[in-house]
Structure 1
Amino acid sequence: MYYPQQPYPIYCYPDWRMYEQPTYLYPEPNANYTNDRPQSLDVDPTLFYQSAKEFKQLMKNATVVLNKLSESEDFAYKVMDAAQQNKTEKVKELIESTGVPGDVEISYNPDGINITMISKVEDTDCCKLVMAIRWR
């Protein structure tokens, strides 16, 4: 039986591969580095404070809507039925009938309803509360 002298394959590279040296890149220190961050601005928490107060009011309004939906099965049925019939104005009218003041945006899909309550401070949208409630 014949056995080759070298049982493993021998790979031959072109001559240029044998002389190619690996390249190493070293980071060079940047002697011209300066801290270009701007100085911090003066802190004025007025809008932040007012936004927090308005958001508390949004939370109270959301609680009113959620209480109505969770305590009155008839009301929940009316909202869901109007939404499934694609009567956006009727759904918005029902939500606003709970006594919620301010901007309320309604969107829905086959799986649930999204109620977005928006509040303003000095004609600026300061806060938004989005409730996503599933019915399927």
Structure 2
Amino acid sequence: MYNYPYHNVSQMHVFPTPNYPMIQSTYPQGIPSFHPNYHWYSYPTYRQYPDVDPTLFNESAIEMQKLMNDASIVLKRIAESKDFAKKVMSAAQESHLQEVDRLIQSTGIKSKVETSFNPDGINMTFKSKVGQTDCCKLTVALLWRG
């Protein structure tokens, strides 16, 4: 640790900089501002923030609950029916994307789902809109081979 000889308050130097109204340092002028013991004192700034409107945020949360419910329906079906899981895996292995989508939609969900798969698993992305705005997306990734 480097001991700097100017530790007495009477030796403190004060000088202005362009970005801050005042810098107080126990070091003489000429020591770079990135020195680890360099002390910065700034004055608080106050900003005016616009009023917030939580309407879209609230509606997005409501839509996300629906997506989570639909994802839960699909996951329950896969978990409870090995036959259904086997059909989804077989269709994916044969690259029948439309059949995979049909099987997932056959669970009774109302959300739009985009699926993608690879040799290791499947990704299901549930999407929803509020009006014309894409508000939320829930992606579920399941592994079927390690």
User: Which category describes the TM-score, using the shorter chain as reference length?
Assistant: 0.7 to 0.9
CA deviation vs aligned residue, 1:5-27 (integer Å, no higher than 9, x gap): xxxxxxxxxxxxxxxxxxxxxx9
Matched, 1:109 2:118: yes
The 3 A distance-change label for structure 1 pair 32 and 134 is closer
Structure 2 letter corresponding to 1:64: I
Aligned-partner SS, 1:43: coil
- What CA RMSD, in Å, does the superposition of the two structures yield over aligned residues? 2.2
Runs of 4+ deviating beyond 2 Å: 35-39
Using structure 2 for the length normalisation, give the TM-score: 0.69
Query: Where in structure 2 are the equivalents of 1:1-136 lying within 5 Å?
Result: 29-30=17-18, 39-136=48-145
Q: Unpaired segments of 5 or more residues in structure 1?
A: 1-26
The 3 A distance-change label for structure 1 pair 90 and 31 is closer
Larger Rg: 1
Using structure 1 for the length normalisation, give the TM-score: 0.74
The count of residues paired between Structure 1 and Structure 2 equals: 110
The 3 A distance-change label for structure 1 pair 112 and 30 is same
Higher RCO structure, 1 or 2 (CA under 8 Å, sep 6+): 1
